[in-house]
Structure 1
């Protein structure tokens, strides 16, 4: 099982009277993180704030150094800064270094910036919550896509004990790079053979943006897909993608991608505000609203 990020209290700053956190991106207006963290702050009666922070790439370093002095205890990071913050952080966790991106920052009392990646934790925790009978070690996993999200998923699945991890990407060189980075359990398939990759796979993950609102749907030949497989899609707008519907029609258990967003946020919230928050239906409704 993918372990939660370390929660050593020495990593976190002392809570201010009204601690501040936020999400850094460019643009950032689309982010649902303020809804998510705002719901938790209200639920637990915490006198803190979580705000969107639109930061242009050329200002990222300056802003990161200024935020702790402005009362910020940490921040989430979204596109296009998830890779850039690694070079600016003073401490980078092993998982963030392996994935090559960070999504969670902690501003420590000693002035150092601690960078972590909780996406893999969120991915696995979502599957275990929504499909408690899922056994990652029961068979190969098939991952569609080889971008930043796929790297976090691959790292998490390998840590969970999948015996083989198959991956296909429209640009094969990115899938080959994943094999080079993650080792012998990775098997790369050409995009034209993506349907064959599903044969006897126990876990199938769409890590591409195909199926998202405004994008083309993910349409794959599913003849080889076992009805015993668990199928999940990182896309959550819409929640029920064409890919999930097609897999469910074959009898598969399916899990939408919203839970990954919710669970990846929990470790950061706990570090910044001192309470481990619950991910439940009330939270899902608040974020979808």
Structure 2
């Protein structure tokens, strides 16, 4: 697919991180630009933490429409935004910046949106999950925080398990405090369980989410395969790792007859709100999109 002719009126956006060479966002956004015939470009921008604010102001001055933000800049993006959406305020981080015509910056956290969308397209309804029991999240990093907040917004209680117990407890306390302050509701239903015993509690869980790098190709433990024998038959197993596309966790879940949701959908769907804001078009994640991104993964 050939891209549109870039003119002096091109709309510009990009992804800022360090490193950024691994990012699939340029592959995805430029595919959508070409597919919709939009005069625009989306570029990777490797920026050191100490240069982040300078880079953002420079992009604004150069006429960029905004940028995605990845590690290690999500908290800095939150700080630089003049206004943030409610979920970003609760999460305490931003992954999507929109530069407005009046010179202000809007910040959003779209990871949670992407995660919920990835469930829905696989036929997993959040209200049904909420009725069956809490979600159990493995890990206590930024992804866990964003996903936990999105699940709470859907009325799903959250349990956290992390190899370092103190981090899980800190995350639970932080989410609860932020939820109470910014969501205008009583304390969030977030609790902690032991990393050593979470497999024993699967019988009462509706959704299991791996937000760690366990099982990732090239990661610290690519063969990780937890024991899912205690899971109820209606447990949904989700992994945000997308390389490989079928992780050991998902393979084990399928062997137990459990419904699975892979990580690629979250990556693709979280990009949609930013594309709409920068380039003015609603896009969909269809099979052609998935095939294009998967081809880039295997180059």
User: Normalization by structure 1: what TM-score?
Assistant: 0.91
SS in 1 for 2:271: helix
Matched, 1:278 2:284: yes
Alignment partners' CA distance in 2, 1:104 and 1:17? 22
Matched, 1:221 2:221: no
Q: Summarize the Cα distance change of 1:124–1:133 in structure 2 as closer, same or farther, 3 Å threshold.
A: closer
Alignment partners' CA distance in 1, 2:254 and 2:233? 8
Q: CA RMSD in A?
A: 1.3
1:160 corresponds to which residue?
154
1:64 corresponds to which residue?
56
Q: Is the 8 A contact 1:200 1:224 kept in 2?
A: no
Matched, 1:148 2:148: no
Which runs of no fewer than 5 residues in structure 2 stay unpaired? Answer: 1-7, 177-187
SS in 2 for 1:279: coil
Matched, 1:180 2:183: no
Q: Summarize the Cα distance change of 1:132–1:166 in structure 2 as closer, same or farther, 3 Å threshold.
A: closer
The number of residue pairs the alignment matches comes to 273
Task: Tell me how far 1:56 sits from its aligned partner.
Answer: 1.0
Alignment partners' CA distance in 1, 2:260 and 2:194? 25
Instruction: Say which is worse superposed, 188-197 or 234-243, in terms of deviation.
Output: 188-197
User: Normalization by structure 2: what TM-score?
Assistant: 0.88
* Bigger RCO (CA 8 Å, 6+ sep): 1
Alignment partners' CA distance in 1, 2:237 and 2:28? 25
Q: Is the 8 A contact 1:131 1:255 kept in 2?
A: no
Alignment partners' CA distance in 2, 1:103 and 1:185? 25
SS in 2 for 1:35: helix
Matched, 1:204 2:196: no
Q: Is the 8 A contact 2:229 2:256 kept in 1?
A: no
Alignment partners' CA distance in 1, 2:14 and 2:57? 14
Task: Tell me how far 1:133 sits from its aligned partner.
Answer: 5.0
Runs of 4+, deviation exceeding 4 Å: none
1:10 corresponds to which residue?
none
1:131 corresponds to which residue?
123
Alignment partners' CA distance in 1, 2:91 and 2:246? 27
